[in-house]
Amino acid sequence: MARLHLFDLDGTLLHGTTAPVEISRQLGLDTEAVALDRAIAQGLIGPPEYAAHVRELWADLTEAHVDAAFQGAPWLSRIRDVWAEIRDAGEYCAVVSLSPSFFVERLLEWGAHAAHGSRFPAVPFTEPVDPSGVLSAAAKVIVADRLCAEFGVTRADCVAYGDSSSDKELFAVVPVSVAVNADDHLAGLASHSYTGRDLWDAYELAVDAR
């Protein structure tokens, strides 16, 4: 049976940072974005409030800013190699992230079968964020189930890669999970743990677990 590999983005594929911080950096507002990341990590605000706040920060955001953020972000190495290997094995890979869909979906060009993020209006913004389109930890499980149905697999065929509390619920429902540069929220929850800058090494832990 083929497996579905589910990758978080912030702190997982991106090393030590998040997409909103990298986007905000292009506007000279990364300090404000880091403060928002801290607030959501501490449970002081929820995903809808977080999305509304970063939407306000990005009033002057353009596609050029998003391009620069994506190209300049500190990605783990060999992401595309891992996804090519997964495809060659007849398996599936997807990215599921709370970050904006307009950033997450760029990873389809790197070989992901699917990429799901919180729905934001088109850049440059002329509309507010619809709270119903903002993902949460629980929504990651819902998206994963939808992808399982799409690819003809079950939760038992899934591998999850993540780093923080937003991955806890997904880690709890899949048999194999890899904590990648993870914080204390995932301590004891993952079946494997990886620290480093190379996604291939994290992927090999999941391969070995098969």
Domains in the chain: ranges and CATH: 4-15+75-208 (3.40.50.1000)
* Helix, strand, coil percent content, the chain, rounded in steps of 5: 50, 15, 35
**CA-to-CA dists, residue 169 to 94, 138, 172, angstroms:** 17, 6, 5
Please tell me the distance from the alpha carbon of residue 162 to that of residue 146, in angstroms, as a whole number.
19
For residues 111 and 7, the answer to whether their CB atoms sit within 8 Å is no
pLDDT on residue 137: 93
pLDDT on residue 1: 78
Q: How many CB atoms lie within 10 A of CB 133?
A: 15
> Per-residue pLDDT tens for 60-103?
999 999 999 999 999 999 999 999 999 999 999 999 999 999 99
pLDDT on residue 209: 66
| Average pLDDT score over residue span 1-17 | 96
* Distant-in-sequence, close-in-space partners of 112: CB < 8 Å, separation ≥ 6: 7, 83, 93, 94, 95
> Per-residue pLDDT tens for 109-163?
999 999 999 999 999 999 999 999 999 999 999 999 999 999 999 999 999 999 9
